[in-house]
Amino acid sequence: LAKTTQPISMDSYEGQEVNITCSHNNIATNDYITWYQQFPSQGPRFIIQGYKTKVTNEVASLFIPADRKSSTLSLPRVSLSDTAVYYCLVGDSNAGNMLTFGGGTRLMVKP
């Protein structure tokens, strides 16, 4: 299981774009990169998943360079409700590959 490293916390202001980078130097060929969001007293929620280049959905964008050793979650124009913990995980399609989420990045959006 590839280990991931991401900043412990980040601060931002409403309306700004937020980029959270995750390092995964030992990512395997079959691994996908997945990001989750967790609000207090709730379970993590799937945000976005990608394998290479760029993926965009209605919530975020995910940028993955060619070597895939890192990835960047981009949240456009954040609001106060985006304050949460964001987790980066890598793994393949086998069950339970994402065993431990780690500490994640605590994003605080200020008015």
Query: Which residues contribute to the site for another protein (CB under 8 A)?
Result: 31-34, 36, 41-46, 49, 51, 85, 87, 90-104
Q: Is 30 exposed, middle or buried, given 0-12, 13-18 or 19+ CB atoms closer than 10 A?
A: exposed
Residue 72: CB minimum distance to another protein, A: 17
- The encoded tokens of residue 5 equal 């490293």
Strand partners, 84: 107
CA 93 centroid distance within chain: 18
Nearer to another protein, 21 or 49 (CB): 49
Nearer to another protein, 96 or 111 (CB): 96
Residue 18: CB minimum distance to another protein, A: 19
- The encoded tokens of residue 58 equal 């209605």
Nearer to another protein, 12 or 85 (CB): 85
Residue 74: CB minimum distance to another protein, A: 19
Nearer to another protein, 42 or 81 (CB): 42
Contact 62, 32 (CB under 8 A): no
